[in-house]
Amino acid sequence: SMDVGCDITQLREYINTASEEKDNSITSSDKVKESLKFKTVDYIDYSSGLGMIFAARPIQSSSSSYWHLEYIRRLVDESIDEVMFESVVLGCVNQERCQYAIYVYALGLEHRYVSETGKLEEGKKLWLKVSSVNPKMGLLTFSLASKSGGIHAQPTSAPAA
């Protein structure tokens, strides 16, 4: 009822008053303004609170990372077999350390992996097991899986990067 800038009942009253005054041919703009009583709209400052939003982003990011790692930790704790995931090598990050960027399909996770076998080619698929995970410290390490079996060893249909 406020979408026209004033209350509809006030607008109806104005129409009724105007039609009555039409007969008397007395319509003044002061009476129109008085009967409509437009409401003023508060100014919205879109930049207020941006500091809080920007301050909250690192907290949200670390919380998301923590719960991602906590999920992996629980998988490891509940599993009898080694927990392994299919991943793909995205590229080399540090040649001296044989450190690679990998993408773990099932987790939707891009992570760093230090190769135990030396140089790896981009696009190579690997089965990696979770060596250790510590959500509080934000640590996750993978190593080559001993076999291509286990609880999470179903191949994905995701294309190589």
pLDDT interval class at 150 (50, 70, 90): very low
| Structure-token match 């999920």, residue found | 71
Please answer whether residues 82 and 145 qualify as being in contact, where contact means their C-beta atoms are separated by less than 8 angstroms: yes
Average pLDDT estimate for 97-125: 93
pLDDT digits 0-9 by tens, 23-40 = 554 455 566 556 555 566
DSSP string of 92-128, one letter each residue: EEETTTTEEEEEEGGGTEEEEEE-SSS---TT-EEEE
Average pLDDT estimate for 67-95: 93
Pairing of strands 125-134, 84-94: antiparallel
What pLDDT was estimated at residue 29?
A: 58
